[in-house]
Structure 1
């Protein structure tokens, strides 16, 4: 590579971050961005940065019991926080590897831990909203695999009688970390890197507030280069559903390889392509704006039918298989459709029973090849299901399911009529059958 000189004198810090990030990833240096005095190999290129601060790193994790789609929601909260941090000084969001999910139960795909975000999401798209990097890349530039400070977020033990934003250092109500007295350091799950990664500073914070309420705590009188917030789901969205919320959501594009698999399935079985369905994506989401009704959708009904633990814990919300089939039949007649795609966590025998009630229709379910399942795990298969559901002419989901919520988001981004998106299946005893709130996209 030839010599490239970049001068950013007087430039706003946030404009520098993509340059710094590209420099870090291109140089493949273990010390880059961590040592303020580091100088890259001039034989590759030269970077001259005037009046620039070395970036800091924010890491986070979520309660182990939370599922894949709730974790995606927490990412948005923390991404908005990092975007706000970047208004004053450079910060990079370190993406927590995926793994150990309750619903990821497949036995034939190996251990589902340490999965990078690039397996599921388009990192270039994420970076159009906020600077991000994979945890594995963070470890390459961290001199000793240390996270300087870890804060375990928790609710207030005494509860609360009124809403107010507040935060206090408190004794840990529950502490999942363990202390190595010989080396004077704390170890924990750390995304499946229990032995390699550690911290010397661990404190518990009782917090009530929005994500960006943490900004002063992270920036004032604090010099740690890397800070981790565990149990990040404790903090709330700054402003749920506003334009910044939707910028973060729009940036979360699925990885191209997963979209390709889903698109091939649509083409082969559902007579559905982006060109015919009017769902073609612009390469850059920041330049894309769709009106409601712009998307036509493929000639099929898509259904998310939640089963498994919902059948036990939410009996009033989940219909029997027979009643679900009755509702599907009614919609198929109304929409004059012959094909229906079912995304469900139901075991195969339950899916077979559902199909038996829908004999007059073409009923489809995505079944991954061993190669696809081995490479993309349960999370990738779930994304393929969501992408197929997102392109149907009409979608109906399950009540209070984050899986259904994320499909509704995708359809808003693609430009579907909300009346064809915000719908749910109802229990046979639910006579009113209230439909979900319509969280419409804001640009």
Structure 2
């Protein structure tokens, strides 16, 4: 009798467990590792660096963790997405207010499909008292001589003479230890630093723009880049503009050209790389007519002041073009912020039949990547504005790998 009761008890227990949300079996894809053992990699970027360079720094770290997980190493580490706060190029008041999470600009589920990433607020939610003490901050610095003995080699060494007081402006984030590290080379070498102190659970890298991609332009690179899908609200706003003003409802449009016209700092400090306003209009006209003489609509994405933009618009209008640009309303700026407005510009440029960019601009690079993902022919994407006179180096072509 006792044995029979024991069997019944076990059957009931198993039935209850099976119906419980806590029950996990091999077929349940929601099951995962015990998060109590999770460790976290944090990073920060030199404050003057812009939005689009920071997106590339994210990719370096995301690939670093994804590749480690793929081979079963360091698979309890998670990458913490640093909040967006007070970037140098963000001028509007709403963009310089409290830190903005990545989900405001990107599809977080898509990011997580490639790499084990978490938002900072997710870490706070698991932290007692909503305060966070990072075990160790490595402040990365460049070696004084990157090509010592004529060779650029991957290396690092613990050094001195640095400080860090960032933590994205949060007063409830501190650290136990700050260490200075001279570093050069591939980002995967950061695992060597992490391995120095196995008991550390929270490790941070400041000046994270210093480590380089392990490999650039590989399938893994493009898998990561494809996972960086934009927040659906931004996509919808951009596509509504394309439909309403540019008369296109397809992913690859054939009736307008787009231009990224970088001004401000480029016009001041890179005068040998950028054309005058009149020269810009002439080049746009020449390139479009060589590509497709029937296109007479141009979308301009630019950081130029309104006076310069109006001058370019007048030049292009006199050449027979309809000129459009996304002029955000106050509501747009409050909702999407400067980073979101930049993404909307990039989406509109990425759908165009033909694109002309600015040489060595990360904003242009991101548009070129989007166009590769959409499937444009490379000849319609890797084009640039040249100086009015002198040498004009052709842009590099980083084509997609499937």
TM-score (norm 2): 0.88
Structure 2 counterpart of 1:347: 305
User: Contact between 1:122 and 1:254, CA under 8 Å: does it hold in 2?
Assistant: yes
Counterparts of 1:5 and 1:150, CA distance in 2? 38
Superposed displacement of residue 65, structure 1: 1.1
Contact 1:393–1:420 (8 Å) recurs in 2 = yes
1:140 aligns with 2:158: no
Which residue number corresponds to residue 226 of structure 1? 202
Kept after mapping to 1: 8 A contact 2:355/2:383: yes
Gaps of 5+ in 2: 1-18
C-alpha deviation, 1:435, in angstroms: 2.0
Q: Secondary structure at the match of 1:253?
A: coil
For the pair 1:97 / 2:83, whether they are aligned, the reply is yes
2:394 aligns with one of 402, 410, 435: 435
Kindly report which structure 2 residues correspond to 1:229-240, keeping only aligned pairs within 5 A, or say none: 229-240=205-216
C-alpha distance in 1, partners of 2:213/2:98? 27
What are the equivalent positions in structure 2 for 1:162-241 lying under 5 Å apart? 162-172=151-161, 174-175=162-163, 177=164, 188-193=165-170, 195-219=171-195, 221-241=197-217
The answer on 1:256 being equivalent to 2:232 is yes
Determine the C-alpha separation between the residues in 1 that align with 2:363 and 2:79: 24
Distance 2:21 2:143 in 1: 55
1:400 maps to: 360
Task: Give, in angstroms, the shift of residue 249 of structure 1.
Answer: 0.8
1:156 aligns with 2:174: no
CA–CA distance in structure 2, aligned partners of residues 255 and 423 of structure 1: 27
Match of 2:315 among 357, 373, 388: 357
User: Is the aligned partner of 1:376 residue 2:336?
Assistant: yes
Residue of structure 2 aligned with 1:75, choices 29, 33, 58: 58
Give deviations 1:272-318, integer Å, cap 9, x for gaps. Answer: 112xxxx3xxxxxxxxxxxxxxxx43410000000001011100111
Check whether the contact 2:25–2:31 (CA below 8 A) recurs between aligned residues: no
> Do 2:146 and 2:184's aligned partners in 1 also have CA atoms closer than 8 Å?
no
The reply to whether residue 271 of structure 1 matches residue 228 of structure 2 is: no
Asked if 1 retains the 8 angstrom alpha-carbon contact of 2:106 and 2:231, the reply is yes
- CA shift for structure 1 position 159: 4.5
Report the more deviating stretch, 149-158 or 320-329: 149-158
Q: Deviations over 1:393-414 (max 9, x none)?
A: 0000000000000000000001
**Other-structure match for 2:264:** 308
Please tell me whether the aligned partners of residues 86 and 95 of structure 2 are also in contact (alpha carbons under 8 angstroms). Answer: no
Question: CA separation of 1:439/1:307 partners in 2, compared to 1, >3 Å: closer, same or farther?
Answer: same
Q: Deviations over 1:228-259 (max 9, x none)?
A: 11111110000011111111111111111001
Matches of 1:220 and 1:198 in 2, distance apart? 21
Q: Which residue is equivalent to 2:115?
A: 130
The structure number with the bigger radius of gyration is: 2
Tell me, yes or no, if the aligned pair for 1:301 and 1:394 is still in contact at 8 Å.
yes
Contact 2:45 2:207 in 1 (8 A): yes
User: Which region of structure 1 is more displaced relative to structure 2, 80-89 or 200-209?
Assistant: 80-89
1:299 and 2:299 are equivalent in the alignment: no
Q: Name structure 1 gaps, 5 residues minimum.
A: 22-31, 37-53, 178-187, 280-295
Question: 1:110, 1:400 → 2: CA distance?
Answer: 25
Contact 1:122–1:252 (8 Å) recurs in 2: yes
Using the size of structure 1 for normalisation, the TM-score is 0.80
CA distance in 2, matches of 1:257, 1:65: 27
Alpha-carbon distance, 1:96 to partner: 0.3
Contact 2:60 2:213 in 1 (8 A): yes
CA contact (8 A) 1:97 1:113 kept: no
SS at match of 2:248: coil
Q: Name the CA distance, whole Å, in 1 between partners of 2:166 and 2:287.
A: 46
| Displaced runs of 4 or more, over 3 A | 18-21, 157-160
Residue 114 of structure 1 pairs with residue 99 of structure 2: yes
> Following the alignment from structure 2 to structure 1, what is the Cα–Cα distance between the partners of residues 31 and 325?
44
Report Cα offsets for 1:166-189 as digits up to 9, x if no partner: 1111003x42x3xxxxxxxxxx22
Number of positions where the alignment pairs a residue of Structure 1 with one of Structure 2: 373
